[in-house]
Amino acid sequence: MAKILLRSGYSGDFLALGENGQSIFDSARQIRETLRLRKQQMLADCLAIPQSNDAEDKVDWYAPYSGTVTPWSMASELQRTQALRYLDNCLLTASEMSQRSLKSEKSAEQLFGILLQNAIRFPGSQHVYLVDDKPVLTFWGFSDLNASPEQHALSCLYASMAPEPVPVAPPVLPEPVPEYEPIQVDDPEPVVVTLSTPDKPLLTPEVAPSVVPEIDEPPAPRTRSWRKKILSVLALAVVLAGLLAWPWLSSHFKPAAEPVAAPPAKMVKPPVVAKPIAPPVITPAKPVEPPVVAKPPVVTETPPAPTQPVKVVEPEPEVPPIDALVLHSEAVKLGTTEFLDGIWRVSLEANDAIANLPSSMRYQISKNEGQARLVMKDNRVCRGDIYSGLMQSGNLMIKPRSRAKCADGSRVRIPEIVCSQALTGAAQCSALYENDITISAKFKRVRY
């Protein structure tokens, strides 16, 4: 079974981890074999298989099993969450095995425990791939040159999952309580009480009793608030209490007053009985003649004109330019990439976040092998080897075998390119750089 190449790169670009001059990379195959013999297949499957080239300066990393490959930058939120849970379990298992090995008396076992402590470390999230939704680490046993040794092994993956900060709403201040103006309550007017006159002699002629006019109490002023109402009620209660106590007080200082005679009752007139009203004379209504109904006019219906069927104009499929890159469905089913043979001009989308972004690129490919020619912004010309292949998902992937070497001896990065085919039109391609930066790439054929 052909191995799936996940990534290629130079080991000198990163910091190799190890102990006492023994690096994890030098013992990578022994570590994977030891994990397999100890029935830790889950831990062994998350570590890619390294293979160095003849020059020993470039390393190819292969998947330990076959399946659909998805880079970490293109994985969905659910795939990333499941992969992080998988790697957390692997990290916990590796830590437990390392602690047990460090307690052994054998020096080889102790060395295995020391190397296993940093085996799950890797430079960044761009070195993680999902093979059938399971994470596989490339460049494991390496760390970034600027990474802190106390940094968590999976911190770069958790950073890519961090949600955006939620804006904090400003605190709601309570509304100020309005100050009420002091309410002035007017003193109630005194109530005037009229006492009866003393008894008169019997020989005096009888005089009609005087009618004491009723004194209407002044209407209580309308209060502007509930406080004024309460004060008015209290004042009225005090006045009533004084009225009730006045007879008792007057009996000690004045003679008893004669009760006031009741006014004579008013004469009530008998009600006037209305005369009976004569019933109205009902005259018989005249018979109503039935209305004359006119005959409806005879309408001759004309048959509608036959409607012509409306022609539905279907949109024509988008025809790609003749020099555009198209992943033909028949070629994808057969697994061949003959449509890629030739010379292509690759145009990259401008992005200030990418250092050493080439101003132009040319790919010359034949039978999945080829060379990339990059022209930098400072007119440096760099060349590097590339290879291509079809993934199981039907996408086309073009990867570099090494960094491009420039005329002045420097090296620059060649991006990984992934192309997918829509229903119509040209293929949609994107170039993947470090820190999961993806930019658009357009292919235009120059020559067959």
Q: Is 399 helix (H, G, I), strand (E, B) or coil?
A: strand
Q: Are 206 and 261 in contact (CB under 8 A)?
A: no
Q: Are 232 and 185 in contact (CB under 8 A)?
A: yes
Q: Which long-range contacts (CB under 8 A, 24 or more apart) does 52-58 make?
A: 57/10, 57/11, 57/12, 58/8, 58/9, 58/10, 58/11, 58/401, 58/402
Return phi, psi of residue 226, to 5°. -70, -20
CB atoms < 10 A from the CB of 428, how many?
Answer: 16
160: Cβ contacts below 8 Å, ≥ 6 apart: 72, 80, 125, 436
pLDDT attached to residue 223: 46
What domains appear along the chain, each with residue ranges and CATH number? 5-161 (no CATH), 329-447 (2.40.128)
Length of the chain counted residue by residue = 448
Q: Are 45 and 135 in contact (CB under 8 A)?
A: no
Cα of 416 vs its chain's centroid, Å: 31
pLDDT attached to residue 260: 46
DSSP designation for 392: T
Alpha-carbon separation of residue 41 from 32, 235, 323 (angstroms): 9, 96, 48
Please, which residues bridge with residue 384 across strands?
372
CB atoms < 10 A from the CB of 227, how many?
Answer: 13
pLDDT attached to residue 302: 58
pLDDT attached to residue 129: 95
Alpha-carbon separation of residue 245 from 249, 251, 256, 270 (angstroms): 6, 11, 15, 44
Determine the number of helices (DSSP H) and then strands (DSSP E) in the chain.
7, 20
> What's the number of CA atoms in the CB half-sphere (13 Å) around residue 391?
20
Question: What is the pLDDT tens value at each position of the chain, 448 positions in all?
Answer: 457 899 988 888 888 898 877 889 988 999 999 999 989 999 999 999 998 876 557 899 999 999 999 999 999 999 999 999 999 999 999 999 999 999 988 888 898 999 998 999 999 999 999 999 999 999 999 998 887 777 888 888 888 775 545 555 555 555 555 554 454 545 455 544 444 444 444 444 454 445 444 545 555 455 456 677 777 778 777 777 777 766 666 555 545 444 444 444 445 455 554 455 555 555 555 555 555 555 555 555 555 555 555 555 555 666 788 889 999 888 888 888 889 999 999 999 888 888 888 989 999 999 889 999 999 988 899 999 999 988 878 889 999 988 899 988 899 999 999 999 888 889 999 998 877 788 999 999 988 8
> What's the number of CA atoms in the CB half-sphere (13 Å) around residue 253?
5
Q: Please list, residue by residue across 51-75, b when 16 or more beta carbons sit within 10 angstroms of its beta carbon and e when fewer do.
A: eeeeeeebbbbbbbeeeebbbbbbb
Please, which residues bridge with residue 406 across strands?
382
Q: Is 295 helix (H, G, I), strand (E, B) or coil?
A: coil
CB atoms < 10 A from the CB of 162, how many?
Answer: 7
Return phi, psi of residue 90, to 5°. -65, -40
- Strands in 49-52's sheet, in edge-to-edge order, are 5-10, 58-62, 49-52
∠ at Cα 238 (235, 239), nearest 5°? 90
